Amino acid sequence: HERGSLADPNVMQSRLNALIDLMKAETLDGSRVIDNPVYRDRLMAIQGRVQALRCNDLRLLSAAVNRQSAPLAGMVVKLQGTELRHELEGFAVDVMGELGLLYGDTPRLRGGGSWQRDYMYFLGLIIGGGTSQIQKNIIAERGLDMPREPKLARA
Q: Which residues bind ligand FAD (CB under 6 A)?
A: 124, 127-131, 133-134, 137
- Min dist. Cβ of residue 97 to ligand FAD (A): 28
The values of phi and psi at residue 27, to 5°, are -120, 155
Asked if 61 and 4 count as a contact pair (C-beta separation under 8 A), the reply is no
Q: How far is 5 from 140, CA to CA, in rounded Å?
A: 21
Q: Supply the minimum distance, in Å, between the C-beta of residue 63 and ligand FAD.
A: 27
Q: By C-beta, is 17 or 131 nearer to ligand FAD?
A: 131
To ligand FAD, the closest distance from the beta carbon of 118 in angstroms equals 13
15 or 78, CB closer to ligand FAD? 78
Min dist CB 111 to ligand FAD, Å, is 22
Q: Are 119 and 93 contacting, i.e. CB atoms less than 8 angstroms apart?
A: yes
DSSP 33: G
- Rounded Cα–Cα distance for residues 84 and 78 (Å): 10
Helix (H) or strand (E) holding 32: strand 31-32
Residue closer to ligand FAD by CB (options 63, 139) is 139
Position with the least CB separation from ligand FAD: 128
Cβ proximity to ligand FAD: between 56 and 135 the closer is 135
Residue number with CB closer to ligand FAD (45 or 134): 134
Nearest-approach distance from CB 113 to ligand FAD, in angstroms? 18
Exposure b/e, 7-31, CB count within 10 A at least 16 = b: bbbeebeebbeebeebbeebeeeee
